[in-house]
Amino acid sequence: MTTGRFSRTAATWRSHLLTTFSGQSDGKPAWVDAIAEGDDAGYFGPGSASWAVHGGIATLVAGIRALLVQTLHPGAMAGVHDWSRYREDPLGRLSGTIQWLITVTFADTTVAQRESARVSRFHTRVAGTYIAADGTERPYSAGDPELLSWVHVVFTDAFLSCHELWGGPIPGGADAYVAEWATAGELVGVVHPPRSERELRDALTAFRPVMKTDERVAEAVRFIRRPPLRRSMMPAYRILFAGAVASLPVEYRRLLGLRRTPLPVVTATRVVLWLVARILGASSTSEQAARSRLARLAAA
């Protein structure tokens, strides 16, 4: 590939990736401006485990892993099936989730609380019934403590596991990340979130009898495997998807109907993440906005 053609391809990738993650081709949606505002350092800050994990490029794989595992709780899957517009607007749903994650990570406490309240208000509308693993019909609400806990522990596990595979050191280690991100869980209503890696593993084990696979799960997995990305980006995405699958415990892969390829996808994923990092640049606009706020506060 010539230098000019590579540059054009990289520019196309950059624009599409930034639109996917933020909703804007320059990677700076309106809500990023709020991160530069505020009167305190936020819940975390530079040098925190959360900044290290959520500012890392391994989040690309972690998001795929989290989406896959979340489908295994039939209550959570029912909520996605009944209420989510992921088929019509999958990237819109993704950018909404990213907005909450990035805001809570980098914004001041007031903005983080406001964004979490927005998410909680959406949860109040999501309700229905589902067939549990034991065959009984049960009611669900997105605000149920069990479902909030499930989403939180799956999310935390995915981002921690993927960063340990493909990211750099975590300040304070795994325990620090789990303890810090427990704060984010509490902001959206999670009761007694795990605060250590051991507690996180125990929480996941406790959910094992609840997990269930069915046609809804299979449909969601098919969609996650082949999302509506540009054709030129799909080869790289397939590698990231395979990396996410490889990172899963074997019992999760079995429930999801997925197999780990014998190819060296962990290494291939590392190469793709390096390439994407080169295309996107060294630091995110959100982290830049947070550092701008901190510099303003320090100067004051």
Counted domains in the chain:
1
Look-up: residue for tokens 């972690």? 62
Q: What is the rounded average pLDDT of the residues 69-88?
A: 82
Distance between CA atoms of 120 and 288, rounded to whole angstroms? 27
Does residue 136 contact residue 9 with C-beta atoms inside 8 Å? no
Residues 183-216: tens digit of each pLDDT = 999 999 999 999 999 999 999 999 999 999 999 9
pLDDT grade for 278, boundaries at 50, 70 and 90: confident
Any domain includes 150:
yes
Residue 8 in any domain: the answer is no
* 116 is a domain residue: yes
Look at residues 158, 125, 122, 140 and name the one whose alpha carbon lies nearest to residue 77.
140
| Mean pLDDT rounded to a whole number for the chain | 87
48 forms beta bridges with: none
pLDDT at 17: 58
**pLDDT band at 254; cut points 50, 70, 90:** very high
The answer to the question of residue 6 being in a domain is no
Q: How far apart are CA 105 and CA 55, in angstroms?
A: 9
Residue 290 in domain: yes
Reference 100, options 116, 86, 89, 117; nearest CA is: 116
Q: Is residue 229 part of a domain?
A: yes
205-212: Cβ within 8 A, 24+ apart: 207/73, 207/150, 207/153, 208/251, 209/133, 210/73, 210/74, 210/132, 210/133, 210/146, 210/150, 211/72, 211/73, 211/133, 211/255, 212/72, 212/73, 212/74, 212/132, 212/133, 212/255
Distance spanning both ends of the chain, measured CA to CA: 51
Burial class of residue 260, CB neighbours in 10 A (0-12, 13-18, 19+): middle
pLDDT digits (tens, 9 = 90+) for 55-74: 999 999 999 999 999 999 99
6 pLDDT exceeds 50? no
Residue 3 lies in a domain: no
Segments forming the whole domain that contains residue 243: 13-299
More confident residue, 15 or 189: 189
| Domain assignment present for 4 | no
**pLDDT category of residue 20 using cuts at 50, 70 and 90:** low
Closest CA to 105 of 56, 175, 146: 56
